[in-house]
Amino acid sequence: MLKFSASISTNNKMRGRLSTWLAKHKLAHRPLGFDYQGVETLQIKSRDWPSVAVAPYAYGSNYPRSQCAYDLAPGGALVSVYHITRIQDDLDQPEELCIKVFVPREDPKIPSVFWIWKSADFQERESYDMLGITYENHPNLKRILMPDTWIGWPLRKDYIVPNSYELQDSLQVVTIVKNYCSNYFLILNK
């Protein structure tokens, strides 16, 4: 079975085995080396993501431990990051990969990997909600944290905060907090 740990390629650069395997099969990617924990990190173009995502799945990477996204710079690319893990019962330290998919902010579209890993569902939805990255062919891509009526993408570096928010939402939060605090203090004073 293919392992994704470090190996030395013939050009003497540190390169992971997944990167070596992808290069052998002519799948476009850019190795970014290893992080401080020794996790292999790759950069992938959006159009190549479905082909690349199948490789770790086929070799036992059965769990996307996390998926997040970030804004590289104002006016720059958006990045969707997948930490994919191979979990087995007999391993103390599961093998992990980090794959970064860079997309232009003008047309931020990435093929969803929901069809490979069902647990990517809410994670991709959160990245859509906060940064506006569209995960193509996602079965239920809609806002998950912000109201459906929200305008814009709050975690983008060029996001302009509205001058005011709806007062109704603020009053609901205050009421919930007051009720919680009242109940908490009643319990403490008994």
Segment holding 16, helix H or strand E: strand 14-16
Residue 1 lies in a domain: no
Q: Number of structural domains, the chain?
A: 1
Task: Supply the range of the domain harboring residue 55.
Answer: 6-163
**Confidence (pLDDT) at 21:** 85
pLDDT on residue 149: 87
For residues 125 and 20, give the distance between their C-alpha atoms in angstroms, rounded to a whole number.
Answer: 31
Does the structure show a pLDDT above 60 at 183? Answer: no
Residue 90 lies in a domain: yes
**In this predicted model, what pLDDT tens digit does every residue of 32-56 receive, in sequence order?**
989 888 899 999 999 999 989 988 8
The pLDDT tens digits for 123-149 are 999 999 999 999 999 999 999 999 888
| Per-residue pLDDT, 134 | 98
Is 61 inside any structural domain?
Answer: yes
Whether residue 179 lies inside any domain: the answer is no
Q: Is the pLDDT of residue 15 over 70?
A: yes
Spell out the residues 6+ positions from residue 7 whose beta carbon is closer than 8 angstroms to its own.
Answer: 15, 16, 17, 20
- Taking residues 157-177, report their average pLDDT: 67
Please report whether residue 177 resides in a domain: no
Supply the CATH number for residue 130's domain: 3.30.460.80
What does the alpha-carbon distance between residue 115 and residue 166 come to, in Å, rounded to a whole number? 37
Provide the residue count of the chain: 190
| Mean pLDDT of the 88-110 span | 87
For residue 186, pLDDT over 70 is answered with no
Encoded amino acid at 156, one letter: R
